[in-house]
Chains A and B, each alone.
Chain A
Amino acid sequence: MASKLSNQLRALYAATSHHSTLSPRQFPNPSGALRDFLLGSNGRLFSAEVSSPPPTPIPPSGPNPSAPSSLNQKELDKFSAMAETWWDSEGPYRPLHALNPTRLAFIRSTLCRHFGRDPCSARPFEGLKFVDVGCGGGILSEPLARMGATVTGVDALETNIKIARLHAHRRGRAHCRVRKIMLLIDLPVTSASLLSNCSVSDDVNFTSVASDLDPLASTIEYRCTTAEKLVEEQRNFDAVISLEVIEHVADPAEFCKSLAALTVPDGATVVSTINRSMRAYATAIVAAEYILHWLPKGTHQWSSFLTPEELVLILQRASVSVKEMAGFTYNPLTGRWSLSDDISVNFIAYGTKTTSE
């Protein structure tokens, strides 16, 4: 019965032409080549997914194995597998997971000082609004939320936003998770139909979905948008953080202006990227892409890297004065990253927005 339903619903689902919206390439991408590698990879992923027949479907697990659940189970499985890949610290994103604590350590120490917070507190950023521009699967947003910040994660790529939402709302109770996740990833089921389906035998409705969220997850607002659009919406934040993004944007200077515009006066801006040095060419491109295969070939264009001096300059022009800078160095023996003074490859800069503007 489940498979019959799922066939019917697959047809329905196709009719909504939702599939086309899943193609990342259809999203306007004002930031230029932002995450081009992700686009490419996910494009592959999706095409592979469409052509290959699904294995034994996981039976719908809610108490109400109604039509929408089975319809969207496939979607759910797909995104959940992707989210799992994204978040698997031993998986393909291992280098990013390994780097993450190191860059968070920099953010923690600089921003605790900037906002005058107790560095021994478990939640030092309580009450502060942060935006994570280019949040990807939420790998930085979630720890920032655990550290107390009210986080907005934005990414130009809808797939990433879906992954991030899915991961933040993971571990939901089994009985209502299907519907919740449908909401979360914006599947093309109208609210009305969802509600009517829920009401059949489920105690869950929209209000409980909203109120039952994980305290961590409910504080993160994930949006598929860009920094420029947030500026248009006149949003601003106590801290604007954009890590490993600027080397992928078409116009770094404009991008920095947007970051600055999102920062409240006296707020903090944190940007990390790769230096345009010979060592960066050797490590970030030759080693990481061609030898170690950490990254797909063509992920980075050496010519679009910024030197620390250039970054400081364009941030300065955007009225952000850089206060501190640090490098990340990788120890191939331990597989660990650490903060150092060596900014010749990966580096991170923290600046404050000057008020005189």
Chain B
Amino acid sequence: MFRLIRRKIGENVYRLRVPAKNLCIDATAKVPSSNPGRSGHVYQEGQGFSDKVQQHDIAIVGGGMVGMAFACSLASTPLTKHLNVAIIDSNPALFNGVGIKKDGPPDPRVSTVTPATISFFKDIGAWKYVEEHRHAYFDKMQVWDYTGLGYTRYNARDANKDVLGCVVENRVLHSSLLSCMQSTDFQKTIYPSKLMTLHRNSSSNGVGSTSSASPSFERGHPVKLDLSDGSLCAKLVVGADGSRSRVRELTGFKTIGWNYSQNAIICTVEHSVENQCAWQRFLPAGPIALLPISDNFSNIVWTMNPKEATDRKVMNEDDFLRDVNNALDYGYGPHPKSSTSGSGGIFSWLKPDLTSSVNDCFEVPPKVVKLASERMMFPLSLMHANNYASKHVVLIGDAAHTVHPLAGQGVNLGFGDASSLSRVIAEGIAVGTDIGEVSLLKKYEAERKPENIAMMAVLDGIQKAYSVDFGPLNLLRAAAFHGANYISPLKKSIISYASGEQRLPIFS
């Protein structure tokens, strides 16, 4: 019954095909790269460049955490491990390995990985490498605000879990994924290069659509990538090249987004005692988070307005530490009252559930005694691509969406994308679909976009709710805190959602 179909095919008969896209970028194309590695293993399997244009099934642009996780996911799936994959990234760490000194101070760039991400890493075989390095599970979290009206303590046992998450340095995640991929016999070629242009054979069948000026496309590999020192062809290009994605720009994906006129300062600090809880306090100018890294180290992510951030980045260590301790304690407002003392409080009508963390008292985070790394500053912004998939090109991770780093969800969304895309590709291969087929890639988009948007909306909403200091709103926020603290099913849902294991209740 599905055979034919009306509509004027005649229209198409003479429709002129647009010549293959030929977009140029300036030579300052920046490919995400992190700290260069010093020593380590060379594990390249194929040399990138030769006279003949190399052909690959999939070209991953950007070998960062999300790009590597996607490659590992392909390598660990029976249906996709035969794929011939190119990874394009000028980061020398991909060649040399990331040298991590285990006893050095932790790098301030850390990620809070959720239980969903941990299980993804276990599936692809990368978690065991993470566990060889520094990482810190935490099972408690305390969130409160400067008004002193409310606080919430989350405990993993509220949702019958062992952990709420794990704080891992980005370089540990990255090197674990590298080690993981190295341990497989996956056919990969690493191009230590930058993407310059991307040509797509704009028509699905190619004939009569490319002008004589367009590049010749390798058979069955309809995308041609010109790199700073060579070129290659692929059936599918995966843009994992971060928030300033070249792939996104070259392919013409539209985005929406805004800057928060907020900067985040991140650094590693040392306590005199061990910290095993994640702390987050909402201050008038933005939240400050204190995340355990291991031993006596913690990571600070402090969001504030750009001027304050610039000042605090350069001020001397003692003043900075005093500001941090102040921000985590009595600065900007009083401590919230502990709920157990709660007779007569304005929210006393909420009956505590005696079995859960409701009885946990408000605690003050451990004092910070020493700065253990340089201070780094990042501007905050929100960006979302209207589409993640088009013909033969797909975006994952920050290339598709950049979120407020409020709850450390950014990279988890990226890992979710990587997992979803590799599963969709495996399902497509199972039924003989062309992996560049847009209808296949749209399945990935349909799966991830609602989840990513929901998370972005939640985080943006929290950010907005805290960007105003206004009496009634403060009360409302406090009520939300109390609700989150005392209503067990709600609390459980929040934990599940933040763990990446459940969609928002309204979406499920």
* A55 x B5 contact (CB < 8 A): no
* A58 x B220 contact (CB < 8 A): no
B258 at the interface (CB under 8 A from A): no
B341 at the interface (CB under 8 A from A): no
Cross-chain contact of A174 among B3, B8, B217 (Cβ < 8 A): B217
Surface stretch bound by A, among B330-338, B433-441, B483-491: B433-441
In angstroms, Cα B431 to Cα A100, docked, is 9
B206 at the interface (CB under 8 A from A): yes
Cross-chain contact of B204 among A92, A170, A214, A288 (Cβ < 8 A): A170
* B9 x A89 contact (CB < 8 A): no
In angstroms, Cα B210 to Cα A59, docked, is 10
A30 at the interface (CB under 8 A from B): no
Query: What is the chain B residue whose CB lies nearest that of A95?
Result: B2
Query: What is the chain A residue whose CB lies nearest that of B10?
Result: A48
Contact mask for chain B residues 2-23; partner A; CB cutoff 8 A; 1 contact, 0 none: 1111111110111111000000
B396 CB to closest chain A CB (Å) equals 21
* A41 x B9 contact (CB < 8 A): yes
Please give, as numbers and ranges, the residues of chain A lying within 8 Å of B2 by CB-CB distance. 93, 95-96, 99, 244, 288, 294-295
Contact mask for chain B residues 408-450; partner A; CB cutoff 8 A; 1 contact, 0 none: 0000000000000000000111111110011100000000000
Please give, as numbers and ranges, the residues of chain A lying within 8 Å of B9 by CB-CB distance. 41, 45, 81-82, 85, 92
Please give, as numbers and ranges, the residues of chain B lying within 8 Å of A274 by CB-CB distance. 1
In angstroms, Cα B1 to Cα A284, docked, is 6
B205 at the interface (CB under 8 A from A): yes
Contact mask for chain A residues 274-298; partner B; CB cutoff 8 A; 1 contact, 0 none: 1000000000100010000111100
Please give, as numbers and ranges, the residues of chain A lying within 8 Å of B16 by CB-CB distance. 55-56, 58
In angstroms, Cα B2 to Cα A173, docked, is 33
A81-B15, A166-B205, A167-B205 given; A38·B1 CB < 8 A: no
A104 at the interface (CB under 8 A from B): yes
A117 at the interface (CB under 8 A from B): no
A55-B16, A122-B429, A171-B221 given; A80·B7 CB < 8 A: no
A202 CB to closest chain B CB (Å) equals 14
* B5 x A95 contact (CB < 8 A): yes
Cross-chain contact of A173 among B3, B205, B216, B437 (Cβ < 8 A): B216
Query: What is the chain B residue whose CB lies nearest that of A147?
Result: B432
Please give, as numbers and ranges, the residues of chain B lying within 8 Å of A142 by CB-CB distance. 432, 434
Query: What is the chain B residue whose CB lies nearest that of A146?
Result: B432
Query: A216-266: which have CB < 8 Å to B?
Result: 216-217, 244
Query: What is the chain B residue whose CB lies nearest that of A73?
Result: B208
* B432 x A84 contact (CB < 8 A): no
* B204 x A244 contact (CB < 8 A): no
Query: B200-221: which have CB < 8 Å to A?
Result: 201, 203-212, 214-221
Please give, as numbers and ranges, the residues of chain A lying within 8 Å of B3 by CB-CB distance. 35, 37-38, 93, 96, 136, 244, 295, 299
A81-B13, A214-B219 given; A38·B4 CB < 8 A: yes
* B79 x A122 contact (CB < 8 A): yes
Query: What is the chain B residue whose CB lies nearest that of A49?
Result: B13
Interface size class of B (residues with CB under 8 A): 35 or more
Cross-chain contact of A122 among B10, B82, B209 (Cβ < 8 A): B82
A355 at the interface (CB under 8 A from B): no
In angstroms, Cα B17 to Cα A288, docked, is 31
* B10 x A171 contact (CB < 8 A): no
* B208 x A104 contact (CB < 8 A): no
A55-B14, A174-B214 given; A295·B4 CB < 8 A: yes
A25 at the interface (CB under 8 A from B): no
B222 at the interface (CB under 8 A from A): yes
Please give, as numbers and ranges, the residues of chain A lying within 8 Å of B10 by CB-CB distance. 44-45, 48-49, 52
Contact mask for chain B residues 177-220; partner A; CB cutoff 8 A; 1 contact, 0 none: 00000000000000000000000010111111111101111111
A120 at the interface (CB under 8 A from B): yes
* A45 x B6 contact (CB < 8 A): no
* A171 x B201 contact (CB < 8 A): yes
Cross-chain contact of B205 among A58, A84, A145, A296 (Cβ < 8 A): A84
Interface centre among B80, B219, B222 (most CB of A within 10 A): B219
* B4 x A92 contact (CB < 8 A): yes
In angstroms, Cα B14 to Cα A76, docked, is 11
Contact mask for chain A residues 40-61; partner B; CB cutoff 8 A; 1 contact, 0 none: 0100110011001011101111
In angstroms, Cα B14 to Cα A64, docked, is 23
Please give, as numbers and ranges, the residues of chain B lying within 8 Å of A288 by CB-CB distance. 1-2
In angstroms, Cα B209 to Cα A216, docked, is 21
In angstroms, Cα B434 to Cα A145, docked, is 11
Please give, as numbers and ranges, the residues of chain B lying within 8 Å of A58 by CB-CB distance. 16-17, 208, 211
B78 at the interface (CB under 8 A from A): yes
A10 at the interface (CB under 8 A from B): no
Please give, as numbers and ranges, the residues of chain B lying within 8 Å of A97 by CB-CB distance. 439
Query: What is the chain A residue whose CB lies nearest that of B429?
Result: A122
Please give, as numbers and ranges, the residues of chain A lying within 8 Å of B79 by CB-CB distance. 120-122
Cross-chain contact of A296 among B4, B15, B222 (Cβ < 8 A): B4
A288 CB to closest chain B CB (Å) equals 6
Query: B14-64: which have CB < 8 Å to A?
Result: 14-17
In angstroms, Cα B2 to Cα A99, docked, is 8
A173 CB to closest chain B CB (Å) equals 5
A80-B205, A108-B431, A171-B221 given; A85·B216 CB < 8 A: no
Please give, as numbers and ranges, the residues of chain B lying within 8 Å of A99 by CB-CB distance. 2
Please give, as numbers and ranges, the residues of chain B lying within 8 Å of A92 by CB-CB distance. 4-7, 9
* B207 x A166 contact (CB < 8 A): yes
Contact mask for chain A residues 15-52; partner B; CB cutoff 8 A; 1 contact, 0 none: 00000000000000000000101100100110011001
A104-B432, A299-B4 given; A84·B12 CB < 8 A: yes
In angstroms, Cα B12 to Cα A144, docked, is 28
A105 at the interface (CB under 8 A from B): yes
* A293 x B6 contact (CB < 8 A): yes
Cross-chain contact of A101 among B12, B211, B216, B433 (Cβ < 8 A): B433
A17 CB to closest chain B CB (Å) equals 21
A195 CB to closest chain B CB (Å) equals 21
Interface residues, chain A, CB within 8 Å of chain B?
35, 37-38, 41, 44-45, 48-49, 52, 54-56, 58-62, 73, 76-85, 87-101, 104-105, 108, 120-122, 136, 142-147, 166-167, 170-175, 177, 181, 212-217, 244, 274, 284, 288, 293-296, 299-300, 346
Nearest 9 A-B pairs (CB), nearest first? A143-B432, A92-B5, A104-B431, A89-B439, A96-B2, A120-B78, A170-B205, A61-B212, A146-B432
A-B pairs with beta carbons under 8 Å apart, 12 shown: A45-B13, A58-B17, A81-B9, A81-B12, A85-B12, A87-B205, A96-B3, A99-B2, A122-B82, A172-B207, A212-B219, A295-B6
Known: A49-B10, A58-B211. 14 other contacts (CB 8 A): A48-B8, A78-B13, A82-B12, A96-B3, A104-B432, A105-B431, A166-B205, A166-B207, A172-B207, A173-B218, A173-B219, A296-B4, A296-B6, A300-B1
